[in-house]
Structure 1
Amino acid sequence: MAASAMPGESNPRVVLSARGLRRDFGAFTAVKNVDLDVHHARVHALIGPNGAGKTTVFNLLTKFLQPTHGTITLLGTDITRTPPDKVARMGLVRSFQISAVFPHLTVLDNVRVALQRPNNLAVQFWRPMSALDRLNDRADELIAAVGLTRERNALAADLSYGRKRVLEIATTLALDPKVLLLDEPMAGMGQEDVGVVSDIIRTVALDRAVLMVEHNLSVVANICHHVTVLQRGEILAEGDYAEVSQDPRVRTAYMGTEEA
């Protein structure tokens, strides 16, 4: 699917950029010469076979790993050597393959906890939970945005796997990210949840950039404006899904067993 510009933004700005990104682990090079531009109001997919280096790229961009060579820029600022907590405060927020919610808190309380930092309450741990009541309106907005209103007072532990992942998206949105990185958001989901989360990601990308690692090629085809294909740590191809899915090198390396 070809990228289409948002109204009034024919050339969406680059908000996250990498140039010459490389990561060595001893004699093994996991990522080599990766150039990447992620645009505002776009969903950008990073795909490739197992071992292609996708998660390593994610870890480099979010500073969980330091690059051996190369530069990373967020919103015009060089973050190549910036620690991950500061990068998150600058607006680069990621999810993980494993759901990261507090199972014994309710949906509402999970979102309220996530809202503490942007509301300068993160270090006020001695306050009772009732002190977070002023966050309820914003929490309810986020809960409604991801379709969890009916589960507002349910324990996270009682949610289905797919609904836990939806809750995780709500907690990441609570941090008001400028760039949202999603690591295999559809992994382990049933088809019904895949459709729900796809719609949420489309909506999220209306006013922020989304970069996602995803193996579900139907999802990539339906919601992603741009696709970067990795193989053995290097970029094999990039473009919209129609372009990369017809590239013989991509079909051989990755899509040979998939429906292209």
Structure 2
Amino acid sequence: MSNVILETRGLTKEFNGFTAVDSVDLQVQQGHIHALIGPNGAGKSTFFNLLTHFLPATRGEVLYQGKAIGKLAPNQIACQGLVRSFQISAVFGQMSVLENVRVALQRPLGTSFHFWKPASTLNMLNERAMQLLEAVDLQSFAARKTVELPYGRKRALELATTLALDPKVMLLDEPTQGMGHEDVERVVELIRRAAVGRTVLMVEHNLKVVSSLCDRITVLARGKVLAEGDYPTVSANPQVREAYMGKEAAHV
């Protein structure tokens, strides 16, 4: 299908005889927000690591914009526009919020390792960095040390640094994990805004977030695709209910 931007075919990962991801076929449509959900241990994070080659697949392939990317290094995949975030906060705590975004903006310039140059040489990136901070409602925090930010704001900063790499597809791993209600609502709105003109594939446990945000949902259980569809279809599936709530509760 011409509007499929990211696809897996028979993607499998085995660890010493244990199959964590089992022959997963997935198609992500361009411009969609697509959720990957499932109970703990379903293989979701492993699947993300296979997509970006942080882990090599045992079998199967990943296609991005119609081309196999399984032989590319993670940084090469990111440079092509397939960019991910992580469950664990991945920002530089002792740098300012603005400086974190500037580091991300450096990558396309090829100056990331020019340690001998004064920081003032990066001032040309300030305008774009501020635009990205405004996009995630962090402009008033620009000068603050990142370590001082509340958790929800740190996740918003990660979204800004992801956007700095100008992704075509954003892979978001548990973007609302550990957040209170107010922070969840803020981050959901930021993702919705960031997704305009882009594609998002997200691992997410919060089903309220999934129901309000996602066009399509794939459910994993024990490494296999259990169900796929929009939220009403998936949430009504007895197998999905059993996977999340147990056999007896699923039939109440």
- State the TM-score, normalizing by the size of structure 2: 0.95
Structure-2 residue corresponding to 1:3 = none
Matches within 5 A, 1:1-260: 13-255=3-245
Instruction: Call closer, same or farther: CA 1:149–1:39 in 2, change over 3 Å.
Output: same
Letter in 2 for 1:182: L
Letter in 2 for 1:26: N
Q: Distance in 2 between matches of 1:196 and 1:118?
A: 29
Q: Distance in 2 between matches of 1:41 and 1:203?
A: 12
Identity of aligned residues (%): 56
Q: Distance in 1 between matches of 2:29 and 2:2?
A: 6
What SS does the aligned partner of 2:107 have?
A: coil
Aligned-residue offset at 1:120: 2.8
Aligned-residue offset at 1:127: 1.1
Instruction: Call closer, same or farther: CA 1:21–1:146 in 2, change over 3 Å.
Output: same
Letter in 2 for 1:239: G
Aligned-residue offset at 1:12: 7.8
Contact 1:21–1:69 (CA under 8 A) maintained in structure 2: yes
Letter in 2 for 1:54: K
Contact 1:12–1:41 (CA under 8 A) maintained in structure 2: no
What SS does the aligned partner of 2:5 have?
A: strand
Instruction: Call closer, same or farther: CA 1:225–1:126 in 2, change over 3 Å.
Output: same
Structure 1 unmatched ranges of 5 or more: 1-10
What SS does the aligned partner of 1:188 have?
A: coil
Letter in 2 for 1:89: C
Letter in 2 for 1:100: A
Q: Deviations over 1:197-235 (max 9, x none)?
A: 101111111111111110000000000001000000000
Contact 1:31–1:57 (CA under 8 A) maintained in structure 2: yes
Contact 1:12–1:39 (CA under 8 A) maintained in structure 2: no
Letter in 2 for 1:47: I
Q: Distance in 2 between matches of 1:235 and 1:74?
A: 20
What SS does the aligned partner of 1:125 have?
A: coil
How large is the RMSD of aligned CA atoms in angstroms?
1.4
Structure-2 residue corresponding to 1:6 = none
Q: Distance in 1 between matches of 2:2 and 2:136?
A: 25
What SS does the aligned partner of 1:36 have?
A: strand
User: Is the deviation greater in 241-250 or in 11-20?
Assistant: 11-20
Q: Deviations over 1:110-159 (max 9, x none)?
A: 10011001233223222111110000111011000000011111110110
Q: Distance in 1 between matches of 2:73 and 2:202?
A: 21
Q: Distance in 1 between matches of 2:117 and 2:180?
A: 39
What SS does the aligned partner of 1:103 have?
A: coil
What SS does the aligned partner of 1:186 have?
A: coil
Letter in 1 for 2:118: P
Contact 1:245–1:255 (CA under 8 A) maintained in structure 2: no
Q: Distance in 1 between matches of 2:199 and 2:156?
A: 18
Moved over 3 A (4+): 255-258
